[in-house]
Amino acid sequence: MHKSQLLYDPLPIARMGIRKETEEIVIGHDYSCFANMLEEYISFGAVDICMPKSAPEILSMDEMPSLLKNRIKIFNDDDEIEAMRRVLHGLRREFEVIITDEDQRLKFKKDTSKEIIRNINYIHSVVKKLAIGFNHGIQIDVNPDPSIQSLRYLREITKDSQTRIVLAQLEALMGLYEGVGFQAPTPPKDTPPLEIISVFDRLINDKTYLEYSDSVAQLADPSRRDNAMIHIRDLERGVRSLSFVSAGWNYAAKVIKAWSGVPVPESGAISSIIQGRSLPAFVDLQAARENAVSMWKKTDLVDSPLGRDGKSLVEGEVLWIPPLSSMEIYSTDNKPFSSFGKVSDLLEALEKAQEHLEKQDDSNV
């Protein structure tokens, strides 16, 4: 039996609060936002959430809620990093980009335009994910359309003929994918994060869900796709009827990007990431990220962030600053991001928190 595996998409967000007794500022990582993304992982039948060894989140694994941490599968991505470095070596050389050995971060010349920086960073991420998908059989968070746009942009501005060949072959590879739609089980939008984690933990030990996961995994293979679609329709209803799944669960239309079955063209320049393996499936998690953050932004001053044990992040009474409306998140569609938001919004939130604390002090007199 196959199992659907998804590449980990980090979404812990720094959260700021104020201790009511001392008014000191406290900060911690809030995993409740990522928990909201788990509904998307469930929809795609994920059994394992795979995290590369090089991911910086490895250092904060102990901060994750235990039920979530137990579902993370760590794998060695040294080969994929080397493949990324080798395939895009010419691109970096032409634009005088240095890649660090410690964290694979790209360093650009001071006069490099933001557009070039964004696209080169993005394509390095895409190529590494492709290599991971080929080598480990993992569904990866890649959207072919913006990837093709970025590849074309870089191909137009590069002068090196070999680099243009590499970028053209990567674009041809992306063009082999087509959308495959199916109905997937999904929990109600207002499901508490800890409940989603708990349900996910029980699903991965359930026979019906494991069969559903197997069918979703087989969508990547054109020869098995029709039979997999038939099984998914039956199994999706079976998952929603499980005793530990709430009555509010419904189904939603999902699309996975899978190999169309067209033969893979000769790709000598990028052979190090293909090597005759089957093409990995693409899952676009951008909508899931945006939905998760949208739900998380509705958190008010009373709700506490989700810590490593699924309980309050900080002991004692803490007034948590609500998520700022100007906060943005990382986008796989090659867009910039910010973390907390704008300074003006943060100052306004702190002023409101101060007023809230003063009103509480007055009421206690």
User: What integer best gives the mean pLDDT of the chain?
Assistant: 81
Say what the pLDDT of residue 313 is.
55
Say what the pLDDT of residue 227 is.
93
Say what the pLDDT of residue 275 is.
58
The three-class DSSP label of residue 251 is: strand
What is the pLDDT averaged over residues 234-253?
85
- DSSP secondary structure string, 58-97? GGGGGGS-HHHHTTEEEE--HHHHHHHHHHTHHHHHHTT-
**Integer CA distances (angstroms), 158 to 50, 112, 155, 162, in order:** 34, 14, 5, 10
How would residue 117 be classed by pLDDT, with cut points 50, 70 and 90?
very high
Which sign, positive or negative, has the C-alpha torsion 285, 79, 173, 179?
A: negative
What is the pLDDT averaged over residues 319-326?
75
Q: Phi-psi region for residue 96, left (φ > 0), alpha (ψ -120 to 50) or beta?
A: left
Range in 15-24, 54-63, 346-355 with the lowest mean pLDDT: 54-63
DSSP strand pairing (13-19 vs 25-30) = antiparallel
Domain ranges of the chain: 4-296
Report the alpha-carbon distance of residue 138 to residue 280 in Å, rounded.
Answer: 7
Range in 46-55, 93-102, 300-309 with the lowest mean pLDDT: 300-309
What is the pLDDT averaged over residues 180-198?
83
Highest mean pLDDT among 24-38, 128-142, 275-289: 128-142
How would residue 192 be classed by pLDDT, with cut points 50, 70 and 90?
confident
